[in-house]
Amino acid sequence: MEGQTPVSNLSRISRKDFSGFYLLVALAGVVLASLANFLRPMSPVFKGQGLEILIPFLFLSLALIIWIRYVPNFDWDRKTKIFLLLVIGYWVCSFSLDSIQGDAVNYTTFILPIVIGMVYLKPLDTRTMFATVDGFALLIIIISIVGQIAVGSGWVTPRTEFPHRLFLLTEFGFDWRWEGVFGNVNYSGPVGAFLLVYGLGRGKWLGWIFAVSGLVFLLASESRGALAAAFIGCVIVLISKSSWGNFRISVPVRLSIGSLLILIPLLGSAISDPTGNGRVTVWRDFISVWPQAPVFGVSEKQISVYLRQGDLSFFSTHGHNIFVQSIVTQGIIGIVLLIALFGIGLFIAIQGVRKHLVVGLAVFVTMLVCNIDEDLFSGNYLSIQYLPIILVVLLTSTQHSISVLPRSLESGADGN
């Protein structure tokens, strides 16, 4: 079959390469912390700290032990190093502003610079990065299943804050929009978008598990922004293929079809609802307080004051857009760092297409669109919603031989 290597070969890591999984071990702590917070929220177990705090540090300790033994065989290129430094720089900005302004932070904030520093110093090859992203996605599915079992058994009572709008899965027991273990429908939806797009781009049986799971997440959450983002990501995966069935399609034709598939629904949505489901109104309202502190941003405490005084509407508790949220709460400094982070990340993801890794660009664009619809991270923590952006940039930056990649991960670019 044209010399392709099966996907299963990606997981054939020798025993001496096991230390390369330090990143997956660290991420396991982040993912399991979400489950712990869902099952036992705010329940101290050791010196006033809950499992959602202790678990990430336990897994980070294990990751550090593994990391010490790991010896990389290449170095990141300059662009990737700049991206990782921007991730740390954005953390410094966010943490410093929160600390100075007196906004709440917890100890897990320090996990981000430690993990990113570990990755900066000891890069991971493509084979290990694919296994890491696969493991991350599988863990998300596993904790979601465990969470549903806990709900079904009566151990946990789920929030019923958001009633159905689309009634897509009511026949399967989803009586309210599904938040899962993620805390909000606007968080569970983007997680589903990541799983769906990554699964389609990855292909093979494991990819289909991710894709189907992601589709269920999307339909159950009924997050329209995440659905739109996933659609765009799926179109990118589709147009990356040089042949559709028995038909070979040239690059210009594929780009034209993809552009039409994306632009027509977006224009139709903009015409039918210019407010973007009320998002535009909230953005305009929230950003109106930015001139009060344009350089360093408005604190969360001050935003609460504006809400009580009626200077902000009820729905403007936050920006509902990562760029609006950043410029208001982190000022010019924060928004410049954030734009630089997304900008160089997108540049790296686009370059990944030349290395036949379209899945990286598809996931990156998907998560970018999700963040335009909802501010999914602040830069303070390694969250499940933040990690896909970081992981796919690292994935497209790794050194590899095309021969180790499954056909489903190749862009299909053939010079046509």
DSSP assignment of 3-24, as one string?
TPPPGGGGG---GGGGGGGHHH
> In this predicted model, what pLDDT tens digit does every residue of 60-101 receive, in sequence order?
999 999 999 999 888 999 999 999 999 999 999 999 998 888
Stretch 376-404: mean pLDDT:
83
Smallest CA-to-CA distance from 201 within 223, 230, 225 is with 230
Distance in angstroms (rounded) separating the CA atoms of residues 101 and 414: 54
Q: Cα separations (Å) of 26 from 20, 34, 37, 188, 275?
A: 12, 14, 17, 21, 40
At 219, list the tokens: 């339909």
At 149, list the tokens: 């079992």
Average pLDDT, the chain: 84
Distance in angstroms (rounded) separating the CA atoms of residues 293 and 316: 17
At 272, list the tokens: 């039918």
Q: Cα separations (Å) of 218 from 159, 171, 179?
A: 17, 16, 10
Distance in angstroms (rounded) separating the CA atoms of residues 221 and 265: 20
pLDDT score of 323 more than 80: yes
Instruction: Look at the alpha carbons of 393, 59, 32, 9 in this order and tell me if their dihedral is positive or negative.
Output: positive
Scored b (16 or more CB within 10 A) or e, 294-303 reads eebbbbbebb
Smallest CA-to-CA distance from 116 within 389, 399, 396 is with 389
Cβ-contact 233, 197 below 8 angstroms: yes
Stretch 185-198: mean pLDDT:
94
Distance in angstroms (rounded) separating the CA atoms of residues 395 and 74: 14
Cα Rg of the chain (Å, integer): 21
The distance from CA 11 to its chain's CA centroid, rounded to whole angstroms, is 23
Distance in angstroms (rounded) separating the CA atoms of residues 111 and 329: 22
Tokens 């630089």 locate to 340
φ/ψ of residue 248, rounded to 5 = -95, 130
Other CB atoms within a 10 A radius of the CB of residue 13 amount to 14
Question: Which has more confidence, 402 or 277?
Answer: 277
Q: Which of 13-22, 103-112, 174-183, 309-318 has the lowest mean pLDDT?
A: 13-22
Query: Tell me, what DSSP letter sits at residue 125?
Result: -
Other CB atoms within a 10 A radius of the CB of residue 215 amount to 18
φ/ψ of residue 192, rounded to 5 = -65, -40
Burial class of residue 399 in the structure, from the number of CB atoms within 10 Å of its CB (0-12 exposed, 13-18 middle, 19+ buried): middle
pLDDT at 119: 96
pLDDT at 8: 41
Distance in angstroms (rounded) separating the CA atoms of residues 345 and 376: 17
Distance in angstroms (rounded) separating the CA atoms of residues 48 and 52: 12
Distance in angstroms (rounded) separating the CA atoms of residues 367 and 371: 6
pLDDT score of 171 more than 70: no
Give domain limits for the chain: 7-409
pLDDT score of 172 more than 60: no
pLDDT score of 126 more than 90: no
pLDDT score of 173 more than 70: no
H helix intervals, 153-299: 185-202, 204-221, 224-239, 251-272, 279-287
> In this predicted model, what pLDDT tens digit does every residue of 26-64 receive, in sequence order?
999 999 999 999 988 776 666 667 788 899 999 999 999
Distance in angstroms (rounded) separating the CA atoms of residues 103 and 97: 8
Smallest CA-to-CA distance from 307 within 325, 286, 278 is with 286
Q: Which of 85-99, 153-167, 252-266, 350-364 has the lowest mean pLDDT?
A: 153-167
